[in-house]
Amino acid sequence: MTTTVNVQDAKTRLSELLRRVESGEDVVIARAGTPIARISAATPPRRSLDAPLLPEIPPIAGDALLEDATAEELADWEGDADDPLNAARS
């Protein structure tokens, strides 16, 4: 949907017009009934899929995700005997 407003009205209602633009409307600003400008939503910048989402975490190879865990990794995952959650299962 497009809304047309005159210059003075646009100056007075700029915040409201910007909210309308954020919700997807286009606003045309006219002087003496002649359109002179259009306000439309800016396209948000797109994140590059090549850059890591969390750069502080090292990348993991896809093949490594499918490998079986070692006995040491399983022991770390399951915790030690002093873990109160493990004691509740016994």
DSSP, collapsed to helix, strand or coil, labels residue 34 as strand
Do residues 68 and 75 make contact, with C-beta atoms less than 8 angstroms apart? no
Range of the domain at 28: 2-39
Confidence (pTM): 0.47
- Structural domain includes residue 9: yes
- Structural domain includes residue 13: yes
Measured CA to CA, the distance from residue 30 to residue 71 in angstroms comes to: 73
38-59 tens-digit pLDDT: 998 887 667 677 777 788 888 7
When pLDDT is averaged across residues 64-84 and rounded to a whole number, the result is: 79
Measured CA to CA, the distance from residue 81 to residue 37 in angstroms comes to: 71
CATH number for 8: 3.40.1620.10
Measured CA to CA, the distance from residue 36 to residue 44 in angstroms comes to: 25
Take residue 69 and report the two structure tokens written for it.
Answer: 């865990």
